Amino acid sequence: MRIYLILFYVFFIAVNSIAQPKVVDKIIAQVGDNIILYSDIENQKLQAIQAGITADRNLECTVLEQLMCEQLFLNQAKLDSIEISDEQVDSEMENRLRIIQNQIGSREKLEAFYGKSITDIKNEFRTVIKDKLLAQEMQRTITAEVTVTPKEVASYFSALVVDSIPYINMKLGFQQIVCYPKITKEDKALALQKLKLVRVDIVDYGKSFETQARINSDDLGSAQLGGKIAASKGMMVPQFEATVFKLKPGEVSDVIETDFGYHIIKLVSRKGDDYVCLHILKRPEFSNEALDIAATKMDSCFKLLKQNAITWDQAVTRFSNDDMTRQNHGIITNPISGEQTWDMEDLNEVDQQIYLLTDAMEKGDVTSPNLYTDIYERKQGIRIVRLMERYPAHKANLTDDYALIKRAAENDKKIKTTDAWLKSKMGNAYFRIDESYSDCDFRLNWFSK
């Protein structure tokens, strides 16, 4: 793999290294005024081992060269006055810390492991994060205008060694018509009243907030933790956070409404932008009558489709009330790849039911109406699924996989463009490498100077 294409990976493990033991340091390399430490490489080796990657000498050399390339990107970014906003730094910091937090178990465990508060950790690594983002932005700038023509795509594919042509797993494409039962004012009022009674039990009668969350909350993820949420400013919806930052530790909020339903919140602690709170969510539930109406509507849709009395697009427009797919012919976009096709791994992660429904179907067939739960908004509806495409497993070819091959050709051209840029900068930059790495077979000729 070309070194500078693993910037994201190295960035991830560089931040992740805050949760690793310290190692004895020495300077391994220098690019301009910036140094690369032995600990930078060792921390990344630890992460590689955890990820099941063989942490051998080749990996050490690869990481070192990547870090040196990164410093060239960073130096040029500063010369070109490329700017990264504080909001970008904060967002990236929060994303990385969230990954580490999930690995360790909680923010409290992360703080205990590192011996510092989340705020102190953020302050310590803010410059590191910003430099990483600057280097990434410089690399993007270098290749921003790189495109490929159809002729270049064909040339790239024809030059591939036969054994290197990728094998494409079976791909499936789906469309859906979903009818969600209507939530009435009465349904909302009932949910609101239920949560008000829960709040009375907590505030007036001293019942445990954690116990009430386990019993009553519709947020299943936090309910099993007694309603506990550890977060930072910007992670939750505005109405929720506005309430959190008005509360004092131990105080229970009034009932508030968000797009997810009704909440009551108890603040546990707050340090700067970081907070720990308990919450109970109550979602309005549709009535059995509303579900029956939706089911009847979808039965009518299914009959019209089977009789060819209506086209699929007409049925989507007439019967679907799913905002995610209604304006796109009902096509279900794969949230992992961003494409309109799915492989089995993605299906198993996102929507196992859909494969079971369509496994024996032919292209263009539709399922009968089935009960469906949207995994993002946790709401139930009735849906009909159509098998839009079924691509058998095969070796990649220009006819069926042009988009995939085009991306590979474009990536290859970006690699060559970045190669040329790096070589042009190496001649004007000061750098040195510790003799202990003289055996490295670097991709670029760093030892020529």
What average pLDDT does the chain have? Answer: 87
Residues 251, 108 share a domain:
no
Does this model's pTM top 0.95? My answer is no
pLDDT tens, residue by residue, 278-290? 999 999 999 999 9
Task: Enter the DSSP assignment of 439.
Answer: T
* Whole-number Å distance between alpha carbons of 112 and 109: 5
CATH number at 409 reads 1.10.4030.10
* pLDDT tens digits, 93-146: 888 887 777 777 777 788 888 788 888 888 888 888 999 999 999 999 999 999
Q: Which domain holds residue 194?
A: 185-282
| Model confidence pLDDT, tens digit, residues 61-80 | 999 999 999 999 999 999 89
Residue 75 lies in a domain: yes
Query: Residue 118: what pLDDT?
Result: 81
Categorize the per-residue pLDDT at 14 as very low, low, confident or very high, splitting at 50, 70 and 90: very low
Q: Is the pLDDT of residue 186 over 80?
A: yes
200-210 tens-digit pLDDT = 999 999 999 99
Please give the backbone phi and psi of residue 85, each rounded to the nearest 5 degrees, phi first: -75, 160
176 and 115 share one domain? no
| CATH number for the domain harbouring residue 258 | 3.10.50.40
Domain count, the chain: 3
Q: How far apart are CA 26 and CA 38, in angstroms?
A: 5
Quote the distance between the C-alpha of residue 28 and its chain's center: 34
φ/ψ bin of 393: left (φ > 0), alpha (ψ from -120 to 50), beta (otherwise): beta
Q: Is residue 291 part of a domain?
A: yes
Residues 6+ apart with CB under 8 A from 432: 29, 30
Are 305 and 383 members of one domain? yes
What per-residue confidence (pLDDT) applies to 4?
38
Residue with the larger pLDDT of the pair 159 and 339: 159
**CA 18, CA 67: separation in Å to the nearest integer?**
17
Share of the chain above pLDDT 90, in %: 55
Give the tens place of pLDDT for each residue, 359-415. Answer: 888 999 999 999 988 877 778 899 999 999 998 889 999 988 898 899 999 999 999
Residue 448: predicted pLDDT: 65
Domain boundary among 221, 254, 282: 282
Give per-residue pLDDT as tens, 277-331: 999 999 999 999 999 999 999 999 999 999 999 999 999 999 999 988 999 999 9
Instruction: Say how many Å lie between the first and final Cα of the chain, rounded.
Output: 25
**Is 156 among the domain residues?**
no
Widest distance between CA atoms in the chain: 79
- Please check whether residues 243 and 207 belong to one and the same domain: yes
Which of 241, 256, 282 is the endpoint of a domain?
282
Say if 135 falls within a structural domain: yes
Mean pLDDT score, 147-153: 96
State yes or no: pLDDT of 87 exceeds 70.
Answer: yes
